[in-house]
Amino acid sequence: MQKGQVNTNHAEVDDFFVAFAKKARKHRGYMAIVEVCGFNDWLLEKLAKTECSEIVVIQPGNSAAHKTDKRDANTLGELLWNNRKRLQGGQRPNGIRRIFPADPEDAQVRQLANFRQHLIRVPFKTSLT
C-alpha cells in the first residue's frame, strides 16, 4: 500500500500512523510485518491502536552478507504480500518463522526469570575483612 521511510521523531511517527490508518480504511485495513527485537514494543502497540488487521512478528532468518534496512524492508514486504491471502484466511503463512510476543504480564514474568538466571550464573563475591 505504501513504501517509504519514516522519521523517528515521535510527532512525525504519530502523524504518519494517523494518515496511514486513514488511507488504509479505504482499502479495508492493512497488515504489517515486523522483525522481533528487544525494543519494538512501542511499534506493536502503535500498530494495534491504528487498526492494523494483522500484525505478523517474525524471527529473522539468516543474515545476508550485505544487510541494509532498505533490503530488509523489501524482503519483509514481499513475504507479507505473498502470504496476504493465507493470513486473511486464517491460515499459517509460508516461508515465515512467525512468533507471538508475550503479553505485558508474561513479559514481566519472563524478564524476572531471566534476571534470576543471570544472578545464579554470576559468581557470589564476599569480603572477609
Domain boundaries, the chain: 10-104
- pLDDT bin (cut points 50, 70, 90) of residue 101 is confident
The per-residue pLDDT for 119 is: 85
Of residues 118 and 38, which shows the higher confidence score? Answer: 118
E-only strand ranges, 1-129 = 30-35, 52-58, 98-99
Average pLDDT in the 9-26 region?
Answer: 87
The neighbouring-strand residues paired with 58 are: 35, 98
Structure confidence at residue 83 (pLDDT): 92
pTM of the entire predicted model: 0.70
Q: How confident is the model at residue 108 (pLDDT cuts 50, 70, 90)?
A: confident
In angstroms, the CA 31 to CA 47 distance is 9
- Contact present, 46 and 10 (Cβ < 8 Å): no
Whether the CB-CB separation of 88 and 96 falls below 8 Å is answered with no
How high is the pLDDT of residue 64? 63
Cell (9 digits) for 94: 509460508
